[in-house]
């Protein structure tokens, strides 16, 4: 349920936390997508606070300003093909569905305990997203993407994912020790750009 009060809380989140986000389309998407519906019911009240929130199975939904920072850096275009690695509750995938509304969004999550609820949420709120239960960090499909977003810490540059970038593609991932902190690595057309210090949950291989 998305009430007028929820919408006001989203507006305050965008106004107070995302004022320095340079991408108006990212701010508009985050004002539109009901973040609270991607959290367990008991955490709805704090969904728009300036912090990360637990979603179960040791995973989190990232702080709003960090999500905005990553999405703005990726410069998502309406026709982009997007890969979201570490989909979690599906919130970022739902944002991508708005930003790449003429393209495609594939989201991968390794935690089986999260998949069923995430599939229901996305089915209601972002039905165009293709959700896969799998290891997003492994070498697999030969499909390429214009945008790759990684929402878990990688100990080193994720070469298997970098190889799946289309010409001119963009990838962002937190790089560093699993215990944190890490730095955001943004790759644009094969060139590395190091951004903010962050702290993400570990990016683990395999499927559970």
In the chain, the number of structural domains is 1
pLDDT band, very low/low/confident/very high, at 139 (cuts 50, 70, 90): low
- Residue 50: burial class (beta carbons within 10 Å; 0-12, 13-18, 19+): exposed
Does residue 141 carry a catalytic annotation? no
Residue 119 lies inside a defined structural domain of this protein: yes
- Domain membership of residue 206 (yes or no) is no
Evaluate whether residue 205 is within a structural domain.
Answer: no
The answer to whether position 159 is within a domain reads yes
Is 114 a residue whose pLDDT tops 80? Answer: yes
d(CA 192, CA 115): 32
N-to-C CA span, the chain: 30
Q: Which three-class secondary structure state does DSSP give residue 185?
A: strand
176: which 2 tokens?
């560093």
- Looking at residue 142, what is its pLDDT? 81
Tell whether 169 is covered by a domain: yes
Q: Encode pLDDT of 168-191 as tens digits.
A: 999 999 999 988 799 999 999 999
DSSP for 2-23 reads --HHHHHHHHHHHHHHSTT---
Examine residue 208 and state whether it is found in any structural domain, yes or no.
Answer: no
Please report which confidence band the pLDDT of residue 83 belongs to, taking 50, 70 and 90 as the band edges: very high
* pLDDT given at position 27: 98
State the catalytic residue, choosing from 62, 79, 89, 104. 62
Average pLDDT over residues 147-168: 95
Residue 81 located in a structural domain: yes
Range of the domain at 78: 4-198
Rounded distance, CA 144 to CA 159, Å? Answer: 13
The answer to whether position 190 is within a domain reads yes
pLDDT above 70 covers a percentage of the chain that reads 99
> 150: domain CATH number?
3.40.50.150
């Amino acid at each position: 349920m998305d009430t007028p009060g929820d919408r006001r809380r989203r507006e305050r989140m965008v106004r107070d936390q995302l004022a320095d986000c340079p991408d108006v389309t990212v701010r508009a998407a985050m004002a539109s997508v009901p973040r609270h519906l991607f959290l367990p019911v008991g955490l709805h009240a704090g969904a728009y606070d300036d912090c990360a929130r637990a979603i179960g199975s040791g995973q989190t939904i990232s702080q709003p300003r960090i999500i905005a920072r990553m999405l703005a850096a990726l410069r998502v275009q309406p026709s982009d093909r997007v890969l979201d690695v570490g989909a979690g509750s599906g919130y970022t995938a739902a944002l991508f569905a708005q930003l790449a509304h003429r393209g495609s969004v594939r989201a991968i999550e390794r935690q089986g305990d999260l998949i069923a609820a995430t599939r229901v949420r996305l089915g209601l709120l972002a039905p165009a997203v293709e959700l896969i239960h799998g290891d997003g960090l492994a070498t697999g499909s030969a499909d390429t993407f214009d945008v790759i977003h990684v929402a878990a810490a990688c100990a080193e540059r994720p070469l298997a994912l970098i190889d799946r970038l289309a010409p001119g593609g963009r990838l962002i991932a937190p790089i560093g020790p699993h215990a944190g902190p890490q730095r955001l690595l943004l790759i644009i057309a094969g060139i590395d750009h190091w951004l903010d210090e962050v702290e993400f949950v570990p990016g683990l291989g395999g499927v559970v």
